Structure 1
């Protein structure tokens, strides 16, 4: 069982990550005032001292603690550390993302270091800090306390000696109710509105004093985003998630580039390197080294990805700016495909490294170099050309190897997002081919049958939807296709006719009662009680009833599909096992 300490934005995010597992956990807050919805978790409220926490962890067999509490909850962090050591329970610290420290700001380690050469101070450090700031008033400094406008906060502020005249309130970080000589902030991170508070104070010409966040125990595993949290849970408590996540080829290429740049610039060869993902969080990625390159082994997790286990390498070289467009030039080496058709992020002739991975590489490499040291980075995949034959690449017009892709940097297991993204890319290429019609189908068999009906269409006009019929039609509408042909075989058709726009067996099953209803509509009196596969119906139907039954199914499918393509013409083709097409 997992115990989460939250009450923060990070706590809420931790809930979202853990809910994906569909398993139970505990969520603890000190005050119980945070509004949250738990589907699989159980909420507990109230402060836990060391003794109470030890007892709770023993009673509920806690095997992992997630500390997503406020960064300044030092006492809680220390208690968690003591309990984790005593019971040998690993701790994941869900930390915030912090901007670099601005040197123009006054940074302090504790309240005693607040400068005394000010007449007035606006303190935004919370009601618990009021008692610590009272000595300033004794020295003649006027102190105002900006707190949350809620009864519990006001009562606690007054109890600690603040007057009503000293209290001011805010609803968002930009509120600046009092203009004092200086403002006191906590280093609360991006999610705590720190950047906005600093900017608002600068706009008022106020001196900015910031209390540094306290150090965390070295024994904690630190993450600063949802992907890092999930991957850490998968590592420390593998059975919690039934399926594990992986890394995109873009993240692997970035990790390899970072490792080789560290080797080139600093002589370092760490086993893991930090990679900043597109969402701003940082994860650690394992790397290795060759003679003049670094590499990362593609990790697909439980996603059925043919690139799993591939070596993705990076060669990094100092270069001259002459003839170069950018400070960091990215090229494709052996095993990285080349775009040969329009419709991608880059024109034909460019290496098949998409925009998001290129941006990831540049963002991660920039801090390791400078404007006087331009770099040339070559990404290569030794087995890429061979593996590419088993991907969508040949159909997309990507030749010579795999593509380096990934929007989020992380692959979720059996990721619908990843598959739908590939559909979207195929649709983009189909549109760029100039075809006004796109033919969508479930796979190679159905495509072979419908392709014979459209001999003049380019290869790119045929797109596989797998099971995601609804999403594919929505994308076709987004791409403004004027004509769409949907080829479907009976197994998926009977699910689609019942309104299941995702026909995967995890989402929908064959509904015999509904099939019997459609048979009745087509005046087909056959017994289907013993069938296990929908295609068995073809063998049971009289030949003179085949067309009528097919028409009935198509009409039901159209009821759910046509609304998704309001501006285009939809043709639905039902295909039997012999390749005969009904429409």
Structure 2
């Protein structure tokens, strides 16, 4: 069982991640004002001391604590750490993402330090964006020489705290918790009050820090930032949903039924980061490396090995083993090697030159968004690599006016693995593709499969094929190729179980002539209206099939056969011969009923294929009642 301490944006995101498991967890907040949607989570409201948290953890068999509270909730962080130490329960800290700071930004270590700095300066009118809980902590300022304004949330509990502290109502500025409006509200306050200094906390991106910083900088108003307090060293820190899920999977095996993984693009990026760090520092001996994902969060990726790239010591090669989680990915467990070598940089050269080495395929057909002849390294991984390497150079304050970096990605088993993928069909030859949009592989990733279908459809369109034939896999395609012997290989696209999504994408791409080839097992599911025919989504419905047989005028024996049938494909051999054609006609017309609207401006042909490869035509003369 898991206990989240929330009340923040990060708390809400943590709950969203845990909801994916479909299992009970607890979500604790001090008050009841935060709105959070929970289906499997149980809401707890009210403060708990260390003893109460320990008692709760024992009674509910809590095995993992997630601290997603505000960065400045120091007492709660300390309490959680105490409970963790006493009960030997690990803690994941869901930290905020913090932006880079302007060189002009001022910092204070804590509230006392901030009060001291302001009191010894020439600042007189102060706008504090630090929240109602800090009014008491900054009492020396507003009871001293400074004219202080505090911006607080417009809610009764906040007003009550301000009144209890004795802070004058006329110096309170109210706001609503809406970050889109927050930037405008801050700007309006600055223009109204004209403060000499703005005081805020190191609240991270989700706390609106960037908007506050931009608003003050544009008006030339100094910004004093109170640094966030340090966290216990043994907290496991993540700063995004992917990292939280991966750490939860590791610390609490079985909470999620399926593990997430990392893409080949993330593997290559991690290798590039480790290799560049080694190049800049004369070696890299850590077991993992931080990688920035496209959503801005940082995850740590294990490094299998790192070695000099050549005998001259120019560059390094880092190897990362692909972890696909529980996704059915042929690259799982295989090595992705990335080499970074410096080279002299001329005026027209790119700072980072990304190339494909052994085992990385090359594009041989148009339609993939990459030039023909180019290494099959998709734009997402390219941008991810470049962004991460830029960050490393920036943090090392490295000048690179005359030095560029050649990044070569190789996959030792890539050519062999490619034969088990869609690559040969879509025109990627000689190896696998380096792919990944989010950087993370979702278990049995629907999204990844649908992306691959779209790519295949785009290639089919780019080849100018007069017809695109969509089918579930190699077996049905073999029969359909005999039906359309003149069509190029790229005209045959596997839809897997995602018939509806494939037809919608075909319509978006304005493909005019589509043939859908179906085995009976998928056809009976589609006929009932299930556009995703995966066995985990839907099973054969005998009641529906009995209705189809009756509507088709089949014999009474057909109904008995359906009742005794376990797998739909058995109907080919079990139905009376006189019933097969009318039954199939009715199935096909139901399929048209659900599929034709998805391709409104195209011509859809649906073919039913039996296990011997015999094809039943779609007959459009049979009208549905």
TM superposition score normalised by structure 2: 0.91
1:23 and 2:47 are equivalent in the alignment: no
Partners of 1:28 and 1:453 in 2: CA distance = 62
1:408 and 2:442 are equivalent in the alignment: no
Asked if structure 2 preserves the Cα contact closer than 8 Å seen for 1:262 and 1:269, the reply is no
Q: CA deviation at 1:443?
A: 0.6
Matched residue of 2:377: which SS? Answer: coil
Partners of 1:89 and 1:222 in 2: CA distance = 15
Asked if structure 2 preserves the Cα contact closer than 8 Å seen for 1:473 and 1:564, the reply is yes
Q: CA deviation at 1:324?
A: 5.5
1:312 and 2:324 are equivalent in the alignment: no
| Match runs of 1:95-244 below 5 Å | 95-114=95-114, 115-116=118-119, 117-171=122-176, 172-174=181-183, 175-176=185-186, 177=189, 178-244=193-259
1:94 and 2:94 are equivalent in the alignment: yes
1:286 and 2:295 are equivalent in the alignment: no
- Residues 459-509 of structure 1, C-alpha deviation per residue, up to 9 Å, x if partnerless? 111110111111111111111111211111100010111111111111000
* Counterpart among 584, 587, 595 of residue 553 in structure 1: 587
Matched residue of 1:499: which SS? Answer: coil
1:340 and 2:364 are equivalent in the alignment: yes
Partners of 2:325 and 2:566 in 1: CA distance = 32
1:264 and 2:273 are equivalent in the alignment: no
Partners of 1:122 and 1:341 in 2: CA distance = 61
| Match runs of 1:419-458 below 5 Å | 419-458=449-488
Match of 2:573 in 1: 539
Q: CA deviation at 1:558?
A: 1.4
Q: CA deviation at 1:40?
A: 0.8
- Residues 155-177 of structure 1, C-alpha deviation per residue, up to 9 Å, x if partnerless? 21121122221111223321132
* Mean CA deviation greater in 224-233 or 559-568: 559-568
Q: CA deviation at 1:367?
A: 2.6
Match of 2:6 in 1: 6
Listed as ranges, the gaps of 5+ residues in structure 2 are 310-316, 394-398, 619-625
Asked if structure 2 preserves the Cα contact closer than 8 Å seen for 1:97 and 1:190, the reply is yes
Partners of 1:138 and 1:66 in 2: CA distance = 39
Match of 1:575 in 2: 609
- Residues 304-363 of structure 1, C-alpha deviation per residue, up to 9 Å, x if partnerless? 111111111011111012386410100111111101111123201110100000111111
Match of 2:534 in 1: 504
Q: CA deviation at 1:455?
A: 2.2
Partners of 2:64 and 2:509 in 1: CA distance = 46
* Counterpart among 378, 382, 394 of residue 358 in structure 1: 382
* Counterpart among 387, 392, 395 of residue 368 in structure 1: 392
Matched residue of 2:138: which SS? Answer: helix
* Mean CA deviation greater in 240-249 or 562-571: 562-571
The two structures, once aligned, show a CA RMSD in angstroms of 1.3
Listed as ranges, the gaps of 5+ residues in structure 1 are none
Match of 1:477 in 2: 507
Partners of 1:290 and 1:389 in 2: CA distance = 30
Partners of 1:246 and 1:454 in 2: CA distance = 39
Matched residue of 2:205: which SS? Answer: coil
Q: CA deviation at 1:547?
A: 2.4
Asked if structure 2 preserves the Cα contact closer than 8 Å seen for 1:71 and 1:214, the reply is yes
Q: CA deviation at 1:436?
A: 4.3
Q: CA deviation at 1:133?
A: 1.8
* Mean CA deviation greater in 547-556 or 317-326: 317-326
Q: CA deviation at 1:212?
A: 0.9
Asked if structure 2 preserves the Cα contact closer than 8 Å seen for 1:336 and 1:403, the reply is yes
Match of 2:621 in 1: none
Asked if structure 2 preserves the Cα contact closer than 8 Å seen for 1:243 and 1:302, the reply is yes
Matched residue of 1:496: which SS? Answer: helix
Asked if structure 2 preserves the Cα contact closer than 8 Å seen for 1:127 and 1:156, the reply is yes
Matched residue of 2:98: which SS? Answer: coil
Match of 2:396 in 1: none
TM superposition score normalised by structure 1: 0.98
Q: CA deviation at 1:548?
A: 1.8
Partners of 1:47 and 1:63 in 2: CA distance = 20
